[in-house]
Amino acid sequence: MDHLLTEARNPASTNLDELTPLDLVRLMCAEDAQVPVAVAAQAEPIAQAIDAIAARLQLGGRLIYAGAGTSGRLGVLDATECPPTFNSPPGQVVGIIAGGPRALTQAVEGAEDHPEFAQKDLQALGLNANDVVVGIATSGRTPYVLGAVDYAKAVGAFTIGFSCNPDSDLSGRVDLAITVPAGPEVLSGSTRLKAGTATKLVLNMLSTGAMVRLGKTYGNLMVDLRATNEKLRARTNRIVRQLTGLDQEAADALLQNCDGELKTALVAQLGQTTPDDARARLSASSGRVGQTLESLRSATATTHPGLVLGIDGGGTHTIALLAQVSTRARSASKGDETLARRASEGTLLGRGESGPSNIQAVGPAGALAALDQAVQAAFAEAKLPRGTVGAACLGLAGADRAADRDLILEWAKRVRLTDKVEVTNDAALLLAARYPLTPGPSPPQGRGENLAGEGWGLAVIAGTGSFAYAKTRNGTTSRSGGWGYLLGDEGSGYAIAVAGLQAVARAADGRGPATLLKERLLQELELAQPQELIPKIYRGGMDRPALAALAPLVIQAAATDQVARSIVSKAAQELAETAAVLAKRLFTEKFPLVLAGGLFVGELRYREAFLEALAAQGIAFEPVAVVTEPAQGGVRLAMSMLPLA
């Protein structure tokens, strides 16, 4: 065994017994950090193993882990976790260990030295050619494991070997070898450390990957779990809410109507069918929720080629507008095809509202659920069956990265939103939201009032956060701000509110001047004294939108309070600087200026302070428009995506 990498001395830990606890922890962390890199180097054989396991399980075979000591225990652990996690049938994933069940809790000396013991254990399971046997031996030479793979090959089962030593005996005796050289252990020869970590990582991938291939998940959610305890029941309800937009009570009712079957509940709700039909369709699709919904939507697809969706999603709420494009607009001549012409020919049919859909703030699952709920509500208000529209434009805060846009596009494809979809940032909608759409049964007549130029200019948002976006006549775009509350968002509602609260704290300490903000903010928060701000802010459940909602109080106090006036003036100046950077970068002429967000819409004093600060920078702008429904810009842009008839 002297030649084995797992038995070698680690030069980094030769003075292990002299290290302080802190130094020992740091050393082990540094050594453990090498393990994922070594595992990643075996990505291809691990992926091949996943395919082989899934194929055998699909045919009714089993995944059987065989190991001794730590390796055997980890195999049994992974097998044991599969039924509650994936609702896998009993016996589909099995772990055998040298020395039998007793070896799980105590050492059974000498058991691993007998290859014939493994043969007997596999014979007791009735091993056959449909099964997969994964031999786990970090040394690559454990007799019990070698005996297991030898017998498995003899009966025609597919064999996979996992070891942490290159060119091991095990790797030469299996159909597929996975070798992860984790390196010498901190404690020489103690393969429960790095080698054990490598083993756990690989087994995680094998079982999870195979179960995903078998349709045990929908997206990245466990949809085939068994709700056998309170934690799993809560998780089941949460998954229903995330994917359907239902509230907790409605999700419970749906699950009860579907006998607690999560997959059935999802297909019944998302596919708008009965539980019995959902079960039958799931059975025909081998239990795959995504495939079942795809076939269901294909069979019952409703199309609305003359409708478009404009969606505005931010950190506070999500708005979806469903609009109809008139026949006149769709048949316009090529020379007349302009956004202005299209904008005069739209009729709002439905408006849907839901919670925040900023991916960076609420995460992918929360954002997608909010989008889906808003779209569903828009169709419901229009009294139309939900279906595929002609085009859609989604302006979403926090979706500027390519990976985030791809996630949104994948969702749009999955729910059959439309074949023509554009995902952009929320500020981009503002420059298009310039002609008033007319709600009602008939298309509006005339061109409508030009509110903000011809689809170019500078858009500035001041709400919970802040952001500026500019577009020139020739289509060049640029942005400024939008760095989030930790790195930026100057001039936002959150920044103003925090500045106001900080002024109250300074005044309470005597470090700053007295201010009317003390009485006004304490009264709004129902507090008796400034010291109560600490538990209210840090433990009272006030998120960023809740804090930003205090900004109007600061702005209103500026009429009579010097401290508040200074805060508002500084915020307006900083936001003007954010906007001026873009104006100086892109424009050499007067440009249209579009303002949006709760502070600009609801607070005239702040809007005027910002415009004065921007003009003081030598910036020339005209006209100025305040957009109260940015999603209308999404409707405009979606209209422009439709082909002419």
| 407 touches 359 (CB < 8 A) | yes
Out of 12-16, 496-500, 586-590, the most confident range is 496-500
Place of tokens 């030898």: 150
d(CA 302, CA 86): 33
d(CA 94, CA 57): 12
Q: Which residue has the higher pLDDT, 112 or 145?
A: 145
Q: What is the DSSP letter of 454?
A: S
Residue 54 structural domain? 5-213
SS3 564: helix
- pLDDT class of 18 with cuts at 50, 70, 90: confident
- Note the pLDDT of residue 449: 35
Specify the range with the lowest mean pLDDT, choosing from 22-31, 155-164, 353-362: 353-362
Residue where one domain finishes, among candidates 213, 247, 264: 213
Whether 87 shows a pLDDT value over 50: the answer reads yes
- Note the pLDDT of residue 1: 54
Six token digits for residue 129: 């050619």
- Note the pLDDT of residue 4: 65
Specify the range with the lowest mean pLDDT, choosing from 332-346, 347-361, 604-618: 332-346
Do 429 and 446 lie in a common domain? yes
Do 13 and 97 lie in a common domain? yes
pLDDT tens column, 349-377: 888 888 888 887 778 877 888 888 888 88
Query: Among residues 7, 109, 112, 612, which one is catalytic?
Result: 112
Do 18 and 166 lie in a common domain? yes
Do 34 and 142 lie in a common domain? yes
- Note the pLDDT of residue 442: 32
Q: Of 53, 146, 57, 133, which is closest to residue 95 (Cα–Cα)?
A: 133
Do 93 and 242 lie in a common domain? no
Task: Please say if 112 is a catalytic residue.
Answer: yes
Using DSSP bridges, classify how beta strands 388-396 and 421-424 pair: parallel, antiparallel or unpaired: parallel
The reply to whether 224 falls in a domain is: no
The reply to whether 428 falls in a domain is: yes
- Note the pLDDT of residue 345: 53
Specify the range with the lowest mean pLDDT, choosing from 344-348, 386-390, 466-470, 563-567: 344-348
- Identify the CATH number of the domain in which residue 405 sits: 3.30.420.40
Whether 92 shows a pLDDT value over 90: the answer reads yes
Residue where one domain finishes, among candidates 299, 320, 339: 299
Q: Which residue has the higher pLDDT, 160 or 18?
A: 160
* pTM of this structure: 0.54
Do 264 and 239 lie in a common domain? yes
pLDDT averaged over every residue in the chain = 84
Give the mean pLDDT of 412-432: 84
Query: Among residues 81, 294, 353, 577, which one is catalytic?
Result: 81
Q: What one-character-per-residue DSSP string does 424-480 give?
A: E-GGGGTTTTTS--EESSSPPPS-----S-SS-EEEEEESSSEEEEEE-TT--EEEE
- Note the pLDDT of residue 380: 83
The reply to whether 219 falls in a domain is: no
- pLDDT class of 630 with cuts at 50, 70, 90: confident
Do 92 and 22 lie in a common domain? yes
**In this structure, what are the phi and psi dihedrals at residue 418, rounded to the nearest 5 degrees?**
-175, 160
SS3 202: helix
Q: What one-character-per-residue DSSP string does 257-285 give?
A: HTTT-HHHHHHHHHTT--HHHHHHHHHHT
- How far CA 494 is from CA of 313, 542, 550, 579, in Å, comes to 18, 12, 8, 18
| 37 class by beta-carbon count within 10 Å (0-12 exposed, 13-18 middle, 19+ buried) | exposed
- pLDDT class of 298 with cuts at 50, 70, 90: low
- pLDDT class of 332 with cuts at 50, 70, 90: very low
Do 310 and 290 lie in a common domain? no
Residue where one domain finishes, among candidates 299, 320, 349: 299
Q: Of 354, 319, 358, which is closest to residue 247 (Cα–Cα)?
A: 354
Whether 539 shows a pLDDT value over 80: the answer reads no
Q: Which residue has the higher pLDDT, 539 or 494?
A: 494
SS3 42: coil
Do 500 and 584 lie in a common domain? yes
- Note the pLDDT of residue 645: 53
The reply to whether 645 falls in a domain is: no
Do 313 and 290 lie in a common domain? no
The reply to whether 472 falls in a domain is: no
Query: Structural domain tally of the chain?
Result: 4
Give the mean pLDDT of 23-46: 91
- Percent of all residues in the chain with a pLDDT value above 90, rounded to a whole number: 34
Specify the range with the lowest mean pLDDT, choosing from 338-352, 418-432, 437-451, 514-528: 437-451
Do 292 and 307 lie in a common domain? no
- Note the pLDDT of residue 571: 93
- Note the pLDDT of residue 293: 81
Do 590 and 503 lie in a common domain? yes
